[in-house]
Structure formats: C-alpha cells, structure tokens
C-alpha cells in the first residue's frame, strides 16, 4: 500500500510537471505570435524601402541593416513586377508595397487593392534644376576657402568612411563650414543621389513643417490639441507644444527590443496616430519628459487635420518646405491610413539633410527667404522644463551627453542606428553622418571633437 501511494504521488507530480511545461510552451508560443508581426513587418518594410526608395541591393541590405536579432532569420521575397516585399518567419508573414511618391507602406488591416486604389495627388516638380544652380539651392559647390584644415579633414573622412576608424558603418558623410560643403564621402555602393533613411531625424523635420504651418497657416502650437477623444478627460490640456517637447504625459514605452508601444505602432497598426490618441494619461501635461515616437506622429496627424484637405497635406512638405530649401526628391512615407510617419520614415540625400541643417543654422533664413517665424529656432533649442537640458522641440541638445567635447550650443537630430545631424552655430559647422551604426558602435564624440579641431 505504501508503494502504491508513493507511485501515485510520483504520477501526479509527473502530470503537474507535464502540465506546467505545456503551459510554458503555450505561453511562449502566444507571446511569440505577438512578436511575429513586428519581426516580419520590420523586415518587409525596411527591405522594401531600401530596394524601391533607396535603390539598394537586397542582399546587401539583408547582410547589413537586417542582420540582427530575430530579423536576420526572416526570409524575404522582393517582387519587382508589383513592387512588393513579403517577409516570413515561422508562421508569421508581412507584406509591404511601394507607391511612387509615398514610398513603401506596410499592409496592416488594409488590402493591397484598397491601398493601391487610394488616390493621392502628384507631387509637383520644383521650378528649378539643381544641377544648374549654385549651392545651397543647387549642386554647384563653390570653391571658396572657409579657413578649415582640408588635409586634416580628409584624414578624418577616410578614417570614418573608408577605415571605420571611429567604429560603426558609415554610408555617407558631409561637413559644412560657413554654409559650404568642405567634406563629402560615400561608401562605394552609395552616392550623392542616394536617399538615406532618417529614422528619428524625421521628428526634427516635423518641427520644420510645424514652423512653416505656424507662420503661414495659423497653426497654434500652444492651444490644446484638437483631439476629440480627449475632450472629456485630463488629456484635454495637452498642447501641440507638449507633444513636440515630449511632455504630453501620455503613457509610452519606447523600448525597441520588445512588444513596446513604438514597435506596435510602427509595425502592427493601420492608423499610427489613432494608437497614440488612445494612450492613457500618466503624468500631468507639461510636467514630465519622456521620449515618444508617438508624439511626432500625432503632430503629423494634427497638421493633416488642421489643413483639412489631404491634397494640401500630401504636397505641403514638398512645395511649402522642401522645394524652398533645395530639397527636390525626398520621400516621406505614410502609414496605411495616409498620415506621414513623422517619427521615422523620411528618405533624403546627405546633401538634403545638410540643407535642412543649414536652414536652422541660419535661424530659419534660406535663399533670401525667411522660412520660419521669427524666434522659431530659439524656441526649438529651448530645453524642456523637465528634461535636464537634453531635449528641445523635436531636437536633441548638448545635455543629452552624446558629444561632451562639442561646443555647448550644439543641437542635433538623432536617428536609430547612427543617423546624426550636428549643428554648431558658434563654429558655423554642420556634420551629417548616415549609415548603419547601432547604438554605441560609433564614437560620435571623438568624431565631432576631431572635426572642430580642424577649424
């Protein structure tokens, strides 16, 4: 009887162990299922944009930009006949499609037919040819001495781009001194015509678009945001300025390595702004700084709503902003609902990013025209009240700590995987670095320090 009792106890223990194991396996499979749209969506979207917008080789992108974490295990098929990419991993599948002027869109709760049947206005061509115009509106670079040590700068350029001596993997590099390009270099597979992915530098472009809308369209950033879902709760106090300064107080998780808010928004949602509008209030508006890609997408949607006309909205970045500062072939991608993805997906050339920076270095003045309202750049550089001097309005500041050797008046655009624009007004210096350099792999402080020393 004792033996039978012990045997029964062991059987029950064994059953509990098996049951626990099955629960763990089932739980793991369920959680993995929630990650698969992010894994396959990241691969399909970014490979599609690299091939169809940047005109890069798919194998090169797979071995560089997509060679990490679970993303490297995806299997992707590029179809040039219908401009689509399908990416698969385990039982997960995602599809992205290219549409000329709006770039590549990840299909989420939208059929391919529905997306392709949406009618968007053609982006008007600029009324000038950059190849016939002098810098900065055009591509004819003046041969003007600026007082910079060109020999030393050439060594820095070679060290960065050719030798990877500062770490990372730089695709493109350009330096302006006193408004003039004094260094420019590209990895062999890239050129001055290649459009490079902004990642979060697009947030700073949203700042620029907002500046133009404030000046020309009566867009009031200090009034409560026009969000119907917020009218009857404490979110009604959130202003556009709060969103641009990342002080909305909305709950948000910007962790890129998990099923976080930023990943769900970018890779699982049809309407990214709607996802942000549904976030709960965690802190009072204007009192707590927390980096949020969702904030800039909501600002993009609010500008769309303010214009009240999608034709005007889609052409606005180009005809009312880019073309006025010499940027003629940028691609700003939209989500399936049609809103520009202001957090992440602008594609422009290295020279175009330099032109954008030059506008800010010149206090919003470009080619004889005042683009921004008076004081807009000062507003942009004013530190948020709760951010320890690290952030302004959709721009990073010296207090972020990335470049402690830089002049303290530096302000900058930062993007995922090492996209950077450094603006140093006191030195009349602009530095643009683009490529694939995951966090911590490129020593930006040493680079900026060496460049400043050439003046």
Q: What is the DSSP letter of 432?
A: E
Query: What integer best gives the mean pLDDT of the chain?
Result: 94
Least confident of 9-13, 58-62, 153-157, 370-374: 9-13
Q: Is it the case that residue 10 has pLDDT exceeding 70?
A: no
Q: Is it the case that residue 208 has pLDDT exceeding 80?
A: yes
What is the pLDDT confidence band of residue 121, given thresholds at 50, 70 and 90? confident
> How many angstroms separate the CA atoms of 141 and 144, rounded?
9
> 3-state secondary structure string, 307-368?
HCCHHHHHHHHHHCCHHHHCCCCCEECECCCCCECCCCCEEECHHHHHHHHHHHHCCCEECC
Query: In what order do the strands lie in the sheet containing 84-89?
Result: 75-79, 84-89, 92-99, 103-106
Q: What is the pLDDT of residue 118?
A: 86
Q: What is the pLDDT of residue 14?
A: 63
What global pTM score does this model have? 0.93
112 neighbors 99 (Cβ within 8 angstroms): no
Buried/exposed code over 406-433 (b: 16+ C-beta within 10 A; e: otherwise): beeebbbbbbbbbbbbbbbbebbbbbbb
Using CA atoms, how far residue 299 sits from 171, 277, 392, in Å, is: 30, 11, 15
Percent of the chain's residues with pLDDT above 70: 93
What is the pLDDT confidence band of residue 386, given thresholds at 50, 70 and 90? confident
CA nearest to 254, candidates 334, 346, 332, 344: 344
> How many angstroms separate the CA atoms of 455 and 448, rounded?
12
Percent of the chain's residues with pLDDT above 90: 87
For residue 18, how many C-alpha atoms fall within 13 Å in the half-sphere facing its CB?
Answer: 6
Stated as kind and residue range, the H or E segment containing 17 is helix 2-52
- pLDDT, tens digit (0-9, with 9 covering 90-100), for 355-376: 999 999 999 999 999 999 999 9
Mean pLDDT of 302-310: 97
Q: Is it the case that residue 29 has pLDDT exceeding 60?
A: no
Q: Is it the case that residue 399 has pLDDT exceeding 70?
A: yes
Q: Is it the case that residue 441 has pLDDT exceeding 90?
A: yes
298 neighbors 275 (Cβ within 8 angstroms): no
Q: What is the pLDDT of residue 11?
A: 64
Q: Is 220 helix (H, G, I), strand (E, B) or coil?
A: coil
Mean pLDDT of 439-447: 97
H helical segments located in 158-200: none
What is the pLDDT confidence band of residue 26, given thresholds at 50, 70 and 90? very low
Task: Report residue 219 as tokens.
Answer: 């867009």
Report residue 89: phi and psi, to 5°.
-150, 125
Q: What is the pLDDT of residue 33?
A: 80
**Helices 201-217 and 310-319: angle between axes, nearest 10 degrees:** 110
Q: Is it the case that residue 25 has pLDDT exceeding 50?
A: no
Q: What is the pLDDT of residue 23?
A: 47
Query: In what order do the strands lie in the sheet containing 429-435?
Result: 180-186, 170-177, 429-435, 419-424, 411-415, 396-397
What is the pLDDT confidence band of residue 119, given thresholds at 50, 70 and 90? confident
- pLDDT, tens digit (0-9, with 9 covering 90-100), for 77-115: 999 999 999 999 999 999 999 998 899 999 999 999 999
Mean pLDDT of 198-224: 98
Mean pLDDT of 332-342: 97
Q: Is 100 helix (H, G, I), strand (E, B) or coil?
A: helix
380 neighbors 395 (Cβ within 8 angstroms): yes
Q: Is it the case that residue 333 has pLDDT exceeding 80?
A: yes
Contact residues for 193 (Cβ-Cβ < 8 A; gap 6+): 349
Q: What is the pLDDT of residue 30?
A: 59
Contact residues for 85 (Cβ-Cβ < 8 A; gap 6+): 44, 45, 47, 48, 51, 76, 77, 78, 79, 95, 96, 104
């Amino acid at each position: 009887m004792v033996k039978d009792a012990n045997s029964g106890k062991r059987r029950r223990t064994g059953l509990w162990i098996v049951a626990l194991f099955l629960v763990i396996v089932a739980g793991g499979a369920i959680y993995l299922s929630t990650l698969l749209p992010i894994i396959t969506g990241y691969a399909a979207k970014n490979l599609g944009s690299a091939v169809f917008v940047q005109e890069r080789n798919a194998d090169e992108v797979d071995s560089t930009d997509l060679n990490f974490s679970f993303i490297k295990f995806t299997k992707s098929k590029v179809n040039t006949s219908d401009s689509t990419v399908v990416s698969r991993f385990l039982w997960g599948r995602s599809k992205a499609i290219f549409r000329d002027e709006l770039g590549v869109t990840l299909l989420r709760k939208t059929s391919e037919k529905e997306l392709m049947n949406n009618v968007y206005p053609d982006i008007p061509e600029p009324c000038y040819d950059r190849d016939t115009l002098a810098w900065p509106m055009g591509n004819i670079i003046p041969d003007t001495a600026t007082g910079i040590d060109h020999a030393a700068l050439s060594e820095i350029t070679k060290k960065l781009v050719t030798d990877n001596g500062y770490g990372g993997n730089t695709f493109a590099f350009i330096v302006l001194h006193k408004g003039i390009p004094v260094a420019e270099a590209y990895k062999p597979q890239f050129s001055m015509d290649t459009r490079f992915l902004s990642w979060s530098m697009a947030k700073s472009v949203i700042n620029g678009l907002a500046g133009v809308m404030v000046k020309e369209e009566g867009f009031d950033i200090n009034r409560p945001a026009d969000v119907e879902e917020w009218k009857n709760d404490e979110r009604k106090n959130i202003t556009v300025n709060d969103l641009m300064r990342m002080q909305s107080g909305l709950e948000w998780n910007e962790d890129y390595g998990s099923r976080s808010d930023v990943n769900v928004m970018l890779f699982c949602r049809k309407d990214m702004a709607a996802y942000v509008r549904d976030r709960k209030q965690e802190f009072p508006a204007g009192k707590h700084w927390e980096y949020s890609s969702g904030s800039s997408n909501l600002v993009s949607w609010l500008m769309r709503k303010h214009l009240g006309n999608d034709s005007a909205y889609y052409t606005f970045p180009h005809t009312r902003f880019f073309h006025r500062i010499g940027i003629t072939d940028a691609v700003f991608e939209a989500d399936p609902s049609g809103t520009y993805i202001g957090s992440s997906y602008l594609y422009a050339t290295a020279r175009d990013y330099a032109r954008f920076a030059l506008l800010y270095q010149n206090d919003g003045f470009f080619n004889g025209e005042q683009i921004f309202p008076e004081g807009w750049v000062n507003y942009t550089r004013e530190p948020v009240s709760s951010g320890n001097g690290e952030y302004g309005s959709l721009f990073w500041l010296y207090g972020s700590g990335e470049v402690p050797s830089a002049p303290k008046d530096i302000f900058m655009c930062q993007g995922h995987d090492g996209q950077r624009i450094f603006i140093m007004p006191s030195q009349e210096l602009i530095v643009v670095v683009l490529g694939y350099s995951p966090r911590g792999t490129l020593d930006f402080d040493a680079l900026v320090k060496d460049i400043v020393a050439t003046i």
